Amino acid sequence: EAGVAQSPRYKIIEKRQSVAFWCNPISGHATLYWYQQILGQGPKLLIQFQNNGVVDDSQLPKDRFSAERLKGVDSTLKIQPAKLEDSAVYLCASSLNLGLAGLQETQYFGPGTRLLVL
């Protein structure tokens, strides 16, 4: 099966500019996650979608970050305006569903988008 796709793979912008990332999950996967991975750290959740609804956005800096998954398939994450501390790898992951059997579904990760803010 095709994996999670992300674009672009790399992006360099100046602070205060805006940037958008795109993610296409594995076909049929209802749950989509955006993680931020700062150098030297593990991935940290930004936002989680179930179909086109938001499940958890408690750690999303909403003054500058936004995300949508309008048709319940692909998703975009936007940063406006970017700050130096936003330099990170942005990972998209998807899973089949919310773990209806009481067990966590396996999350499949995309290759990530590496953002550098100058």
Pairwise CA distance, residues 61 & 46, whole Å: 8
The yes or no reply on residue 101 touching other proteins (CB under 8 A) is yes
What are the structure tokens assigned to 105, written together? 């579904």
The yes or no reply on residue 102 touching other proteins (CB under 8 A) is yes
One of 13, 45, 73, 116 touching other proteins (CB under 8 A): 45
Rg (C-alpha) for the chain, rounded Å, is 14
What are 22's strand-pairing partners? 7, 76
Contact letters (x/-) for other proteins, 2-41, by CB under 8 A? -xx--------------------------x-x-x----xx
Distance, first Cα to last Cα, the chain = 37
One of 66, 107, 114, 116 touching other proteins (CB under 8 A): 107
Q: Which is nearer to other proteins, 13 or 89 (CB)?
A: 89
Pairing, β 19-24 against β 75-79 = antiparallel
Q: Which residues of this chain interact with other proteins, rule CB under 8 A?
A: 3-4, 31, 33, 35, 40-45, 48, 50, 55-56, 91, 97-112
